């Protein structure tokens, strides 16, 4: 799918840095490579942050992972993608992915929370110009959403490729943060007459809805039925 876990000879964890060590709830941080990959591979949308004209900008976009690289694509006219193609060291970015797993309802308003899994990646984004890497990246972006889909769709043609830019971000300065468990009310609040607990949040897929112009007799692929 989006990539494989690193060989046993590679470090099993990312090295913490000043930017990846949280100042709050540091005990929830993790630098485990396998956990980071799992959180990234389960998501669909990332938020890509960068500075434009002296002001912060954060854009939601699809992404794909191949080994220790993340890929993001967009129009060649997109501002952040143009900025990565300019002469210089690339574009400094911060990319985040978050899953909400539960709503934590406490007796006190202060202790309401969510159970979540998140990844934050800091680094320098570069535009991908090598044709083979571009093909790999674009296939990864399609397969990230639905594994197996890139082999079951028409590849981008020359015109479409010319209109599409791809940037890469290496997974080097990375951290995960996870909150699990239940309510953390104060002892003196436990007798209050307010319901407390966790409401689980999960993702589900509905039944596929075929396109109205689908060629009669076209069967639903097994990889879609498996969803």
Residues 167-198 have pLDDT tens digits of: 999 999 999 999 999 999 999 999 999 999 99
Separation CA 35–CA 178 (nearest Å): 10
Q: Residue 145: is its pLDDT beyond 50? A: yes
Q: Residue 53: is its pLDDT beyond 90? A: no
Query: What CA–CA distances, in Å, run from 175 to 28, 168, 221?
Result: 10, 18, 36
* The two three-digit tokens of residue 38, written as one number: 């799992």
pLDDT at site 162: 86
Q: What are phi and psi of 158, to 5 degrees?
A: -60, -40
pLDDT at site 79: 66
The secondary element (H helix, E strand) that includes residue 161 is: helix 158-162
Half-sphere exposure of 159 (CA within 13 A, CB side): 0
Q: Residue 158: is its pLDDT beyond 50? A: yes
List the chain domain ranges. 26-225
**Are 95 and 48 contacting, i.e. CB atoms less than 8 angstroms apart?**
yes
User: What mean pLDDT value characterizes the chain?
Assistant: 90
Q: Residue 69: is its pLDDT beyond 70? A: yes
Residue 131: count of CB within 10 angstroms of its CB: 9
Which listed CATH number (3.30.428.10, 3.40.190.10, 2.30.110.10, 2.60.120.10) goes with 26-225? 2.30.110.10
Beta bridge partners of 93: 123
Q: Residue 87: is its pLDDT beyond 60? A: no
Separation CA 11–CA 33 (nearest Å): 8
Percent of residues, the chain, with pLDDT higher than 90: 74
Using a 10 angstrom Cβ sphere, with 0-12 exposed, 13-18 middle and 19 or more buried, the burial of residue 40 is: buried
Taking only the tens place, the pLDDT of each residue in 88-119 is 678 999 999 999 999 999 999 999 999 999 99
Q: Read off the pTM.
A: 0.88
Residue 176: which residues within 8 A CB-CB, separation 6 or more? 29, 30, 31, 32, 35, 36, 39, 117, 118, 119
Average pLDDT over residues 48-69: 94
pLDDT at site 1: 45
pLDDT at site 163: 87
**Are 175 and 18 contacting, i.e. CB atoms less than 8 angstroms apart?**
no
Separation CA 100–CA 58 (nearest Å): 19
Pairing label, strands 164-170, 173-179: unpaired
Q: Residue 8: is its pLDDT beyond 60? A: no
CA 49 to chain centre: 13
Average pLDDT over residues 68-74: 92
């Amino acid at each position: 799918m989006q990539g494989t876990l690193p060989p046993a000879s590679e470090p099993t964890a990312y090295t913490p840095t000043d930017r990846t060590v949280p100042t709050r709830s540091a005990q929830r941080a993790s630098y485990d490579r396998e956990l980071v990959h799992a959180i990234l591979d389960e998501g669909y949308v990332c938020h890509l942050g960068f500075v434009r004209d002296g002001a912060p900008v954060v854009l939601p976009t699809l992404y794909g992972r191949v080994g220790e690289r993340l890929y993001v694509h967009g129009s060649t006219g997109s501002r952040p993608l143009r900025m990565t193609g300019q002469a210089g060291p690339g574009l400094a970015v911060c990319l985040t992915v978050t899953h909400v797993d539960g709503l934590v309802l406490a007796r006190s308003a202060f202790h309401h929370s969510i159970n979540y899994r998140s990844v934050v990646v800091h680094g320098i984004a570069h535009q991908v110009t090598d044709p083979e890497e571009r093909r790999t990246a674009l296939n990864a972006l399609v397969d990230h959403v639905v594994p197996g889909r890139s082999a079951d769709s028409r590849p981008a043609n020359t015109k479409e490729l010319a209109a599409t830019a791809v940037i890469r971000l290496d997974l080097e300065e990375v951290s995960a943060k996870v909150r699990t468990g239940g309510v953390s009310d104060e002892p003196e609040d436990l007798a209050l007459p307010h319901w407390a607990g966790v409401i689980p949040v999960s993702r589900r897929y509905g039944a596929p809805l075929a396109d109205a112009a689908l060629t009669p007799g076209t069967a639903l692929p097994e990889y879609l039925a498996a969803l």
